[in-house]
């Protein structure tokens, strides 16, 4: 490639623009500076005059304010002194005040150069005055008295008052302003007034105004002379700066172009790939630093080319490992959530963590529900064939690693256990060098601690913390699910046990009771009529077969036999007829309201409640009549069983004295509650018993009639 000729060198390109820029800049600066000098001079003169006027106004205002303050304080001090004097002379009455010379000296004092104080009473009569002729004169009767003065005096009778007024013999030609402040003497009808001409206080300000005016004139003259001198100096300095700048720019451009040329050649060589080339510039300034940076950059590029591929390969390997780690965590979390048995879950998690992430030891501690102590539930140690489950509560040091995490719920990462004050060494695990412990918690409840140990220093990083925390959170959810599963299973077992107990009581117990009564009746009939004996035995056998069938139905949780072919009302009627036939008690059944279809569970529950109530009547009531009614309304169905038996003392069901009656009443109450209804029991000694159950039926029912 042919070398390109340069019309104007770099030195010329630097020198010519700099000189042109300097000339233009100096011209503009000269014009702006000249204008600015004139403007500064004008503003200096104007501001000086304004400042003088402002100072004078401020001085006038301050001196006049000081005069008012002085007059007010004078009146206040005299009123206070008179109050103190009168307190120490309680025998001094108003008629003798004028003769008290000491009090007069207190009351009449000078204010400023020409002002004075006076004292008058609430009738505006002068009591003390600097002019003895004024004593006894009424202030509102003074000839030529100004209106402002009288207004201040009249207001002072009712409280503190002050204001300006004009006063003097030549008031019309040359009026002078006075300021007066009046203060009543506490506890008396006297008023102290202090007044003085205000112009005598501002006399120093007038003199200062004249001096400031003279100073402003002198300052203005001085500023004008300095402005002319500054213009001459500025012009001379400008010419000198131009000459000096031309020389400096020439030398500077030469000093810059040489190293820049070297930098240009070096950049071209390095750009061609010769990264070992070194640029040599020895200027001792930023250009030398730039050359050194070019050389360092070339070396860095050379090193980067050599290890870039290796770094890319390592980073790719790390990212693949991180992806594999996340995939493993997801798979482990899915597996953990499917295990509902703690005895299977805890060992699996410990063994999985150790084998998947190549940890040395994995320990899982959980709080025991009963003792509240930490128990080592799983210990997975490298070199052993399996996992050793342990369930004995341990005395864990609260200040140790596990104890501290269990107490605070925070993560503890000790990549060098020798520098961790909470680490407690164990003889059997003397090779441990790093430890990571995270809390197993759900919400704010801490369930235990996941503890991971390694035999290498700095074995754990943020990825391990993330993994352990994620597995611990999943483990907490799985533990909670396992516990809920166990509790649900236990509740289901208890509910089934209670159901069987109720069914046995409502079917077998009632059947056995009927069998016993029939056998007792047969025994009593042995000596009378053999037909009665046979009838009672036949009935007892029928009850036994019925009880056996009901027992089978209870085991399989089948619908009661009485409801298989008929509805609830007909089944209840059959139970009432059978009860009356077996016991000889007058039993009557009635249905009220519009009959409706009920759910099988609701019909079975009401039937069992009615059977239990009739059994109680048969065994305990000694009644002669029983009334059973089934009532329907729009939202509910009500079953009522009333007898005229001996009754019993009203008491809480759970406190009933007889065991059988307590179980029967509790069974009825539980059935009613299970149906979402209300159970009511009323009983009085020798007045019978009422059992009433009201159960909601809902609105999605269809009415039917017989």
Instruction: Sketch the domain layout of the chain as residue ranges.
Output: 7-240, 322-485, 560-706
pLDDT at 668 over 70: yes
Q: Model confidence at 627, in pLDDT bands (50, 70, 90)?
A: very high
pLDDT at 626 over 90: yes
Do 615 and 664 meet the contact criterion of CB atoms below 8 Å apart?
yes
pLDDT at 222 over 60: yes
Mean pLDDT in the chain? 76
pLDDT at 661 over 60: no
The 3-state DSSP class for residue 51 equals: helix
Write down the pLDDT at residue 394: 66
Joined together, the tokens standing for residue 140 give 């509102």
Residues 336 and 472: their CA atoms lie apart, in Å, by 11
Do 241 and 26 meet the contact criterion of CB atoms below 8 Å apart?
yes
Residues 186 and 134: their CA atoms lie apart, in Å, by 24
- Residue range 9-45, pLDDT digits in tens: 555 656 677 667 777 776 777 677 777 766 776 777 6
The 3-state DSSP class for residue 31 equals: helix
Write down the pLDDT at residue 417: 83
H helices of 409-529, in order, are 462-503, 510-525
CA distances from 177 to 148, 167, 209 (A): 11, 7, 20
Q: Does domain 560-706 have CATH number 3.30.565.10?
A: yes
Joined together, the tokens standing for residue 704 give 């039917």
In degrees and rounded to multiples of 5, residue 628 shows phi and psi of: -120, 130
Joined together, the tokens standing for residue 473 give 């959170």
Paired with 254 in beta bridges are none
Write down the pLDDT at residue 183: 94
User: Which contacts (CB < 8 Å, 24+ apart) does range 162-167 have?
Assistant: 162/68, 162/72, 164/198, 167/197
- Residue range 539-585, pLDDT digits in tens: 766 666 666 556 555 544 444 666 667 888 888 998 899 888 888 89
- Terminal-to-terminal C-alpha distance of the chain: 118
Q: Model confidence at 704, in pLDDT bands (50, 70, 90)?
A: very low
pLDDT at 670 over 70: yes
Write down the pLDDT at residue 11: 57
Do 155 and 122 meet the contact criterion of CB atoms below 8 Å apart?
no
- Residue range 603-613, pLDDT digits in tens: 888 988 998 88
* Rounded average pLDDT over 153-163: 88
pLDDT at 68 over 60: yes
List all residues 6 or more positions away from 527 whose beta carbon is below 8 Å from its beta carbon: none
Joined together, the tokens standing for residue 388 give 């050793």
The helix-helix angle for 342-357 and 286-337 (nearest 10°) equals 150
CATH code that applies to domain 7-240: 3.30.450.20
pLDDT at 324 over 70: no
DSSP state of 384: S
Report the range of poorest mean pLDDT among 227-231, 409-413, 435-439, 614-618: 227-231
Write down the pLDDT at residue 557: 45
pLDDT at 588 over 90: yes
Maximum mean pLDDT: which of 107-111, 429-433, 552-556: 107-111
* Rounded average pLDDT over 103-111: 88
Residues 453 and 475: their CA atoms lie apart, in Å, by 18
pLDDT at 286 over 80: no
Q: Which CATH architecture has domain 322-485?
A: 2-Layer Sandwich (3.30)
Maximum mean pLDDT: which of 125-134, 164-173, 281-290, 469-478: 125-134
The DSSP result for 526-582, as a single string, is: TTT-HHHHHHHHHHHHHHHHHHHHHHHHHHTTPPPGGGSSS-HHHHHHHHHHHHHHH
Q: Model confidence at 174, in pLDDT bands (50, 70, 90)?
A: low
- Residue range 436-472, pLDDT digits in tens: 899 888 888 888 888 888 888 888 888 888 888 888 8
Bigger pLDDT: 451 vs 212: 451
Write down the pLDDT at residue 273: 67
Length of the chain in residues, anyone?
A: 706
The 3-state DSSP class for residue 363 equals: strand
Domains 7-240 and 560-706 share a fold: no
Do 376 and 450 meet the contact criterion of CB atoms below 8 Å apart?
no
Write down the pLDDT at residue 467: 82
* Rounded average pLDDT over 361-390: 71
Residues 404 and 386: their CA atoms lie apart, in Å, by 28
Interior CA angle at 352 toward 423 and 401, to 5°?
A: 10
Q: Model confidence at 521, in pLDDT bands (50, 70, 90)?
A: low
Residues 655 and 55: their CA atoms lie apart, in Å, by 102
Write down the pLDDT at residue 662: 60
Element (H, E) at 447: strand 445-454
């Amino acid at each position: 490639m042919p070398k390109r000729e340069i019309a104007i060198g770099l030195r010329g390109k630097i020198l010519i623009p700099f000189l042109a820029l300097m000339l233009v800049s100096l011209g503009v600066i000269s014009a702006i500076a000249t204008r600015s000098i004139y403007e500064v001079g004008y503003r200096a003169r104007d501001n000086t005059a304004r400042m003088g006027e402002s100072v004078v106004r401020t001085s006038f205002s301050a001196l006049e304010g000081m005069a008012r303050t002085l007059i007010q304080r004078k009146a206040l001090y005299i009123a206070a002194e008179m109050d103190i004097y009168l307190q120490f002379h309680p025998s001094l009455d108003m008629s003798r005040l004028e003769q008290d010379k000491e009090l007069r000296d207190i009351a009449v004092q000078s204010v400023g150069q020409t002002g004075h104080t006076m004292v008058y009473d609430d009738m505006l009569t002068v009591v003390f005055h600097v002019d003895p002729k004024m004593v006894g004169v009424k202030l509102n009767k003074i000839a030529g008295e100004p209106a402002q003065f009288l207004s201040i005096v009249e207001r002072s009778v009712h409280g503190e008052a002050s204001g300006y007024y004009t006063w003097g013999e030549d008031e019309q030609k040359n009026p002078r302003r006075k300021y007066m402040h009046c203060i009543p003497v506490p506890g008396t009808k006297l008023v102290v007034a202090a007044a003085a001409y205000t112009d005598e206080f501002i006399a120093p300000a007038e003199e200062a105004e004249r001096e400031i005016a003279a100073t402003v004139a002198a300052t203005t003259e001085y500023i004008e002379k300095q402005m002319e001198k500054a213009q001459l100096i500025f012009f001379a300095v400008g010419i000198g700066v131009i000459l000096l700048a031309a020389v400096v720019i020439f030398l500077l451009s030469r000093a810059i172009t040489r190293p820049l040329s070297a930098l240009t050649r070096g950049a071209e060589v390095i750009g061609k790939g010769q990264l070992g080339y070194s640029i040599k510039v020895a200027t001792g300034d930023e250009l030398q630093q730039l050359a050194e940076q070019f050389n360092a950059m070339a070396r860095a590029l050379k090193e980067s080319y050599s290890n870039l591929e290796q770094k890319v390969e390592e980073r790719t390997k790390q990212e693949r490992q991180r992806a594999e780690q996340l995939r493993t965590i997801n798979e482990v979390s899915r597996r953990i959530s499917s295990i509902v048995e703690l005895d299977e879950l805890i060992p699996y998690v410990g063994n999985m963590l150790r084998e998947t992430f190549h940890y040395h030891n994995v320990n899982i501690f959980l709080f025991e529900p009963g003792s509240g102590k930490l128990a080592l539930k799983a210990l997975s140690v490298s070199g052993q064939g399996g996992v050793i489950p342990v369930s004995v509560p341990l005395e864990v040091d609260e200040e140790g690693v596990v104890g501290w995490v269990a107490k605070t719920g925070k993560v503890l990462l000790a990549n060098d256990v020798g520098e961790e004050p909470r680490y407690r060494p164990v003889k059997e695990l003397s090779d441990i060098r790093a430890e990571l412990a995270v809390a197993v918690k759900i919400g704010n409840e801490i369930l235990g601690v996941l503890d991971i140990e390694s035999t290498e220093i700095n074995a754990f990083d943020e990825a391990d913390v993330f993994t352990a925390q994620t597995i611990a959170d999943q483990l907490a959810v799985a533990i909670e699910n396992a516990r809920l599963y166990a509790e649900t299973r236990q509740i289901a077992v208890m509910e089934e046990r209670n159901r069987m107990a109720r069914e046995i009581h409502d079917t077998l117990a009632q059947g056995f009771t009927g069998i016993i009564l029939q056998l007792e009746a047969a025994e009593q009939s042995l000596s009378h009529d053999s037909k009665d004996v046979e009838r009672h035995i036949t009935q007892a056998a029928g009850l036994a077969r019925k009880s056996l069938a009901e027992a089978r139905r209870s085991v399989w949780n089948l619908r009661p036999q009485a409801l298989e072919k008929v509805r609830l009302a007909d089944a209840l009627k059959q139970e009432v007829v059978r009860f009356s036939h077996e016991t000889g008690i007058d039993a009557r059944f009635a249905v009220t309201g519009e009959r409706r279809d009920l759910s099988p569970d609701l019909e079975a529950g009401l039937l069992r409640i009615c059977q239990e109530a009739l059994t109680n009547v048969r065994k305990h009531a000694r009644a002669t009549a029983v009334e059973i009614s089934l009532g329907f309304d729009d939202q509910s169905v009500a079953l009522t069983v009333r007898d005229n038996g001996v009754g019993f003392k009203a008491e809480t069901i759970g406190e009933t004295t007889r065991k059988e009656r307590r179980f029967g009443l509790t069974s009825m109450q539980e059935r009613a509650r299970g149906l979402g209804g209300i159970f009511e029991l009323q009983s009085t000694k020798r007045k019978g018993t009422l059992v009433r159950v009201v159960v909601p039926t809902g609105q999605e029912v269809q009415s039917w009639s017989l």
